Structures are given as C-alpha cells and as structure tokens.
Amino acid sequence: MSPYNRSSKEEEYFAKQEAEKLRQSALEHAAEMAEEEKKRQKELHYMKCPKCGMDMKEIEFRNVHIDKCFSCGGLYFDDGELEQVIADEGEDSFLGRITSFFK
Ligand SMILES: [Zn+2]
C-alpha cells in the first residue's frame, strides 16, 4: 500500500510512534544535560569549603582522611568517615552521641 492510501487509523498510529520517538529523544537530551550539569557542579565545588568556598586540604587523623579548610577552620567528613571515628571513640563519646541524636 502506498503511504498516500493510509487510513486515518494508520496515520494516527504512525503519528503516535513519531511523537513517542520525539518524546524519548527529549528525555535522553534532558538526561545528558543533567549529567553535564552534575559534572560542571562537581568541577566547580570539588574540595571547596561549603562555608567559605576556599580550597580544602586532606589531612589524616587516626587513619581517617578528613577534609579541612584552613581558611575558616571547618572540617568535612566523607560518607562513612565519621562512623569510623565513632567506632574508635565509642558510641558514648561526644561524636557518638551527637551522631545518634541527629540520625
Ligand atoms: Zn572554609
């Protein structure tokens, strides 16, 4: 059958298929843009102090790598590092109590 003889139901079917392709392509494009934005944000903020924006330096204390800002004195623990310190200090230590309080 030539495309000129398509019934309206067939036309609707192909129009829907085309719309679905365009929708998928728009979603993929948005996901790519989100990924690029995530990368850009990481490049912009990686190892920058969340309080004052200056560079942080990695220091080691009792085998835990802590990010420290020598400009404002802030300390930053990566995921799991605080728990490592608490494991050494005990649940009843100041850090142990403050962490269980804000769970
Ligand atoms: Zn700082």
Alpha carbon of 3 to ligand 1 centroid (Å): 67
In the chain, the number of structural domains is: 2
How far is 41 from 35, CA to CA, in rounded Å? Answer: 10
Distance between Cα 53 and ligand 1 center (Å): 6
| Owning domain of residue 61 | 57-101
Give residue 68's pLDDT.
96
CA of 51 to the centre of ligand 1 (A): 5
Indicate if 41 and 61 belong to the same structural domain. no
88 burial type by CB count under 10 A (0-12 exposed, 13-18 middle, 19+ buried): exposed
Instruction: Tell me the angle at which helices 81-89 and 94-101 cross, rounded to the nearest 10 degrees.
Output: 130
Q: pTM of the predicted model, to two decimals?
A: 0.60
Residue 31 lies in a domain: yes
Furthest C-alpha separation in the chain? 81
Here the tokens at position 16 are: 């829907």
Q: Per residue in 23-60, pLDDT tens? A: 999 999 999 999 999 999 999 999 999 999 999 999 99
Please report the pLDDT score of residue 41 as a whole number.
94
